[in-house]
Amino acid sequence: MALDENWFTETVLDEGLAFSLRIKERLHAEQSPYQRIEVFETLHWGRLMAIDGCVMLTERDNFLYHEMMVHPAMFTHAEPHTVLIIGGGDCGTLQEVLRHPNVARVVQVEIDERVTRIAERFFPELTAMNGDPRCDLRFEDGVKFVRRTATACFDVVIIDSTDPIGPAQELFGSGFLRQIHRILRPGGVLAQQSESPLLHEKNILKPLHRSLAEAGFARRVTLCFPVPSYPSGWWSCTLAGKACEVRDFRRTAAAARPFTTRYYNEDVHRGSLAVPEFCRGAFDG
Amino acid sequence: MALDENWFTETVLDEGLAFSLRIKERLHAEQSPYQRIEVFETLHWGRLMAIDGCVMLTERDNFLYHEMMVHPAMFTHAEPHTVLIIGGGDCGTLQEVLRHPNVARVVQVEIDERVTRIAERFFPELTAMNGDPRCDLRFEDGVKFVRRTATACFDVVIIDSTDPIGPAQELFGSGFLRQIHRILRPGGVLAQQSESPLLHEKNILKPLHRSLAEAGFARRVTLCFPVPSYPSGWWSCTLAGKACEVRDFRRTAAAARPFTTRYYNEDVHRGSLAVPEFCRGAFDG
């Protein structure tokens, strides 16, 4: 069946694949100083935000991504008080961080303020906690912010970026990751969105592990989880520890978490640490 | 971007989603007595077999499905000697079963001989072991075969069927599953393909667990794993035991397996047993 203008389609030409969602209407479209941002009402996946033609999130499945970008890192760190989010403009990651009652301060540095303003308008369920006094929302270049940040300031850093092409490319390089290592406190944990295990094992995940190693992160592991609306439906988050073992986590605390999740639990966390056979050697350090 | 005739597209209209692969050419198309079977050469996913417009397998990602339909069941059973496969015409499941050296006999009952003949021609890497003397390939209705099979004949039964609409619907009902329970030996294990955890939790997985319970299977668990070319990219296999605990498995044997896998290993097996929070209560018995 040919797909007409009633479908939003994201194509990944160099993988020869496409994913489409049936839409009712386009609610918003604008060109920000950085990128093209669109919001659609879909027929079965709630609202959809797309940036430069790529799915950023849908209401139906973003819980998978946001929970897995946050809770494994937070329960790997012994006692996370201060968190830095680079990117994350839709505020879904921020919200999951704020659910942890021991968090005293979260700084989010998103380069494009328009992403957050559009999320506030069209995805209010993600931005409902933005008024929390522990939040510090900044709109500037994350690379520059990190460069001028004092040493050993944060317990957890989450890099919730778009794909490592264009503006986000620098976020995957060893120069920037060395800066992240510097601003983490001892025992600190970095969580970085790291694309699809199937599509990007060789061209993104292996180089990322190499960059992390060069940046000083001896302990690393890539967690795998489903995100149906992202290319291949299978995604990953890479954890790297500064003097912190990232394959262990506070299992009892994770089981007793004082908030609701839809995907994450202590078994899912442990399960996501399993390294697929074809990724052995590439995904753990 | 609109997709032209250079793409194969599978649409799931009642979920408002579609998945597409770029094709080079159509290699084969025929209407068998049961269904429409097509084979395409894709640009990046190797060859693709489609039945009635739905992706059955691609060369690139079928290892995920076939390994997870077979190895968890085989390492859950204490010592599987005799295996029955219902469906599985492409022979990818059969091949994974034959890798287990303790298997003495595998009967495969596929209703549509044309699927197997087309697999032999276009997917020889899946059918390479079909000449193994332990194999007994039959082309007939699996429901009728099971009905006339003697009690307590098989150690493992694998239902590798198409979606539970049309001909495969009966394979998900308690009447048929009671027959499976009957032909399993004590300690036997059933593995059934059980669709997408995200899309089909309520309309297929919950009813399947109910049917399995009615059929006498007190122990059940649904394993989740990625299959990028199936709707949502996230798939499942449900294990049910006849006096066999299906959450335990022979971990040491799985780690020492005398054959190569690309996805499965003992950590992946354990990880796939994790029940997503939104499926708690629905996925385990």
At B284 the pLDDT is 64
- Those residues whose C-beta lies under 8 Å from the C-beta of residue A254, and which sit 6 or more positions away, are A71, A75, A264, A265, A266, A269
- Those residues whose C-beta lies under 8 Å from the C-beta of residue A175, and which sit 6 or more positions away, are none
At A164 the pLDDT is 81
Over residues A116-131, the mean pLDDT reads: 98
Q: Buried b / exposed e across A189-225, counting CB within 10 Å, b at 16+?
A: bbbbbbbbbbbbbeebbeebbebbbebbbebbbbbbb
Provide the mean pLDDT of chain A: 95
Phi, psi of B64 (to 5 degrees): -60, -50
At A139 the pLDDT is 98
Sign of CA dihedral A158, A163, A167, A168: positive
At A285 the pLDDT is 59
pLDDT one-digit tens code per residue, A138-149: 999 999 999 999
At B2 the pLDDT is 63
At B179 the pLDDT is 97
Q: Does B265 touch chain A (CB under 8 A)?
A: yes
Over residues A230-252, the mean pLDDT reads: 97
Q: Is A108 known as a binding-site position?
A: no
At A282 the pLDDT is 79
Confidence of residue A170 (pLDDT cuts 50, 70, 90): confident
At A227 the pLDDT is 98
Q: Does A41 touch chain B (CB under 8 A)?
A: no
Domains and CATH numbers, chain B: 2-58 (2.30.140.10), 62-279 (3.40.50.150)
Q: In chain B, pLDDT over 90 holds for what percent of residues?
A: 90
CA distance B263 to B96: 12
Residue pointed to by tokens 């993988």: A15
The answer, yes or no, to whether residue A5 has pLDDT greater than 90, is no
At A1 the pLDDT is 54
B chain contacts of residue A273, beta-carbon cutoff 8 Å: 267, 271
Report CB contact under 8 Å: A234, B224: no
A chain contacts of residue B53, beta-carbon cutoff 8 Å: 1
Q: Is A160 known as a binding-site position?
A: yes
Phi, psi of B150 (to 5 degrees): -65, 155
pTM over 0.95: yes
B chain contacts of residue A9, beta-carbon cutoff 8 Å: 1-3, 18, 20
The answer, yes or no, to whether residue A284 has pLDDT greater than 70, is no
At B212 the pLDDT is 96
Out of B155, B160, B248, B284, the active site residue is B160
Over residues B226-239, the mean pLDDT reads: 97
At A127 the pLDDT is 98
The answer, yes or no, to whether residue B110 has pLDDT greater than 70, is yes
At B285 the pLDDT is 59
Instruction: Compare A65 and A5 and report the one with higher pLDDT.
Output: A65
C-alpha dihedral, B252 to A234 to B14 to A7, nearest 10°: -170
CA distance A204 to B102: 40
The answer, yes or no, to whether residue A75 has pLDDT greater than 70, is yes
Report CB contact under 8 Å: B263, A276: yes
Over residues A1-12, the mean pLDDT reads: 86
Least reliable range by pLDDT among A31-35, A156-160, A277-281, B25-29? A277-281
Over residues B32-47, the mean pLDDT reads: 97
At B51 the pLDDT is 96
pLDDT one-digit tens code per residue, A171-208: 888 999 999 999 999 999 999 999 999 999 888 999 99
Q: Got the DSSP string for B71-94?
A: HHHHHHSSS--EEEEEE-TTSHHH
The answer, yes or no, to whether residue B17 has pLDDT greater than 60, is yes
Over residues B111-123, the mean pLDDT reads: 98
Q: Does B20 touch chain A (CB under 8 A)?
A: yes
ipTM, 2 decimals?
0.95
Nearest to A53 by CA among A79, A96, A18: A18
Least reliable range by pLDDT among A3-7, A265-269, B33-37? A3-7
CB distance B37 to B52 below 8 Å: no
Over residues B41-53, the mean pLDDT reads: 97
